[in-house]
Chain A
Amino acid sequence: MIAQFGFGVLILSFIVTIYSVIAAVMAATRKSASLTESARRAMLLTFPLITLSALSLIYLLVYNHFEIAFVYEVTSKSMPTYLKITAWWGGQAGSLVFWSWLLSAFTSAVTLRKWDRDREFLPWVIVVTGITLAFFLVMVIFFENPFASMWFDKSGEMVKAMFMPNGATAVPLQLDGRGLNPLLRHPGMVIHPPMLYLGFVSFVIPYAFAMAALITGRTDDRWIRLTRRWTLWAWLFLSFGLVLGGRWAYDVLGWGGYWGWDPVEISAFMPWLTGTAFLHSVMIQEKRGLLKQWNMILIILTYALVIFGTFLTRSGVLSSVHAFAQSAIGPLFFAFIGLTFIVSISLLIKRWPDLHGETEMKSMLSREALFLLNNLLFMSVLVVCFWGVIFPLISELVTGAKVTVGPPFYERATAPLFAALMLLMGIAPLSAWGHSTVQTLGRALWKSALAAVITTVIIFATYTQNVIALIGFLLIAFVLFVTFQEFWRATRARQKTQNENFFKSLWTLVGRNRRRYGGYIIHISMMLMAIGILGIEIFQTQTQGTLALNQKVEIGGYQVEYSAISQFQGPDNREVTRAVVNVYRNGEYLGQVYPRIDFYTDSQQNMTIPGQRATLRDDLYVLLVDWQPVTSNGATFKIYVNPLVNWLWIGSFLFFIGVIIAAWPDKDPERAAVRASKTTRQINELRNE
């Protein structure tokens, strides 16, 4: 009953979405305010409707309705309630509902804003978001229905359908479900997919505004100003989704790393690349009236990559081209990406002449030129990633042979590009809009460059002689010094003219130009993350061996001793095998870590959860591997020492702060102006009295 209700509401929300799109198109063509309002209200209605449908699904998940195929596939009785709720996005069908729900929430939020000055955009924003929403609802209703039950058809095969197919019989009620994939039963997995999806979905909004600008011909930078904060939030969510995914991989997958250049990871990274390029290049349009066409291309690409990312992970195309052909939703996704891309590009071509720059580029070293170079580098990383993900599919299609494009390919290709990006991150903040010369830049940069060189020499003398690492540290130090110098110089200058103390000056400075200084904090955070990445990529050491009880092994200055082992029944239907490992450094006892293997009885799968000892200097990461049977006589351990990796996580916290500062809403200038004029009027009236 609940399933039928949830499905019914979903159909209703689809109808309402379609109505909203049609009404919006008619409103725009007939310039009808009442139709626009009708379309807006219909769009607002989709959110409570999809919410009702989602609540129905959550009810079915939480109360073990195993007659529903989706519930049977992703939950089991023993799962704790919070995991049953998060199983909502643990499977294909549910995650598509989740996508739709987020999109309707964001679209509602957008339609609720004040539209006074931008009324002409509204119908087209509704059309674009509505079509995207309708597409996802079609997927859910017709192809991946999470409310479908299981049936045996005439030939005795199990089929999923909402209502009993002709001649079919009901599958006997299942007493328990298969349970969520153990990999997904982790707090990181609870937050990671929603973050990533939030990032994906919120990029739809700036895209919708860009399309509205192209359709209406209002191609000034208004659409960019309107969506600047959306884009920043989208970028924050996407970035956080990526970092959380990395942390989850580090904690759960048990291979000692956080990023494996897996196609699924890359599919989320690609829109981040274009999104980051977009965030930088819109500044050029706002400041200099340049690159209007390019910004359009970037946001169209980002939207296409968002859908493409969902498509890559959902269509089965990655496991095999043939699986894609068999998948019901794969070809549809492909068609949708193609169609929206072609329509967007056609609109862009139509408006191409209106999007010419208002001024000219004056110097190859000006900030706008350096930002363009930054865009080129981001796009280059994108080309490498895209081609690396696509090539195995092409190879399989053309020759029938599958190939793997793995980490060595990506690392070799992207490392110099990332290095160049870091160099730019150091130079660009000190170049001026409009015009810079080698002399002006040189004078601005030499102190930071010198400090970076001295730092690198110290690192050379005390830490490492590895050339690649030294180049990395040189660039990191350079960016950090440049950024700190920018804070220092501006704060000191303000302090002198305003006679304030240093911290008040710094506070006012950051508060008054949040975008710039938020951006600088993001740069600093990126460099902290780069320290972590450099540390683990270059200095990671590992060893593996079978240890007898109380036997020690030496790695990276640590002595690791196998002390005890125990087996017990854990919550969530797990058989836990947990080792106690003593950790020493130069003979001094530091503490214990507890690597374990969780065997999930419902899904018959093992999970190897590392025991970690994290410090700013390095992470000791101990895994209990099942190469040999684990007994109290001996167990096989794989031990990693991951230097500096914690800076990656510290950097991500700072990143969060930086984006919050940059995206923090300013006082609405229009409202402030109105308030100011009101006050003046009141004062004048008082005076007159």
Chain B
Amino acid sequence: MNRILNQRSLRITYYVIFLLAIVLIPATIVHAQDPTPSDDQVNKIAGQLYCPVCENTPLDVCPTEACRQWRDLIRQMISEGKSEAEIKQYFAENYGARVLSEPPRTGLNWFVYVIPPVIILAGAFFLFRALKGWTKPVVASTTSDTSEAKPIAQDDYVARLEEELKKRK
């Protein structure tokens, strides 16, 4: 019984290998015949790079002849099996950091990432300190703003609205 089962599973395995071979071998042949990466693959990387010559033009849309050649270079590098990071690295090394859509996180470039949050946080800190300084606890009944203090009470709301409309008549 066991032997029969083993023979059957062995046969199934052979079938599977055979089927896989049928499916995969032509696929690899097709791949070998058509190694050219698609425009979409090229654009995916070119869109993250900037034209080294023109001002602020991404490489995927730049119409110049030089950019056409750079796109061909990207296509060639993809077909050689280079990764996205490697291609970007290659361009940065050869044409300078300006081809990258953001400054690389090294040296002076750190400032571009650090300064805005520092200024914004400082601004927020000063604002809240100032607000706290200005803010005083309110005793609702004694303030002059009581009519405005409960904006959601419907009667008050209607009254306030009418008051405003009257003022503008």
Contact = CB atoms under 8 A, between A and B. Distances in A.
B55 A319 contact: yes
A82 interface: no
Contacts of B152: 430, 440, 443-444
A542 B42 CA distance: 13
Contacts, number: 171
A409 B102 contact: yes
A170 interface: no
Q: Name which of B97, B108, B115, B116 has the most chain A CB atoms within 10 A of its CB.
A: B116
Given A318-B55, A545-B39, A401 B96 contact: yes
B38 interface: yes
B143 A362 contact: yes
A12 interface: no
B34 interface: no
B119 to A, nearest CB: 5
A175 interface: no
B165 to A, nearest CB: 5
Nearest to B157: A493
A665 to B, nearest CB: 14
Secondary structure of the B contact surface, majority rule: helix
A435 B102 contact: no
A636 B68 CA distance: 14
Q: Name which of A262, A399, A406, A407 has the most chain B CB atoms within 10 A of its CB.
A: A406
B40 interface: yes
Given A360-B134, A362-B136, A430-B151, A494 B124 contact: no
A260 interface: yes
Interface residues of A, number: 71
A589 interface: no
A354 to B, nearest CB: 18
Contacts of B151: 430-432, 436, 440, 444
Contact of B158 (A395, A403, A497): A497
B131 A489 contact: no
A255 B102 contact: no
A434 B149 contact: yes
A338 B56 CA distance: 27
Contact of B120 (A254, A383, A399, A408): A383
A391 B111 contact: yes
A372 B148 contact: no
Contact of B149 (A319, A372, A398, A435): A435
A362 B138 contact: yes
B116 A376 contact: no
A380 interface: yes
A545 B102 CA distance: 28
Contact of B103 (A362, A376, A403): A403
B127 A373 contact: yes
B108 A395 contact: yes
Nearest to B72: A627
Given A440-B151, A513-B164, A376 B131 contact: no
Interface string A357-392: 100111110000100110010011001100110011
B108 A363 contact: no
A262 B61 CA distance: 14
Contacts of B50: 404, 406
- Enumerate the 5 nearest inter-chain pairs by beta-carbon distance, A residue then B residue, closest first: A434-B145, A406-B101, A361-B134, A544-B39, A403-B103
26 contacts: A357-B134, A364-B131, A364-B135, A372-B131, A394-B108, A394-B111, A399-B107, A399-B108, A401-B96, A403-B98, A409-B101, A413-B116, A432-B149, A432-B151, A433-B148, A434-B145, A435-B140, A435-B143, A435-B149, A440-B150, A440-B152, A493-B158, A494-B161, A494-B162, A508-B165, A544-B43
Given A406-B50, A436-B151, A444-B151, 9 more contacts: A383-B119, A399-B107, A403-B109, A404-B101, A408-B101, A496-B158, A543-B39, A544-B38, A544-B39
Interface of A: 253-255, 260, 262-263, 318-319, 357, 360-364, 369, 372-373, 376, 379-380, 383-384, 387-388, 391-392, 394-395, 398-399, 401-409, 413, 430-436, 440, 443-444, 489-490, 493-494, 496-497, 508-509, 512-513, 542-546, 606, 608, 626-627, 636, 638
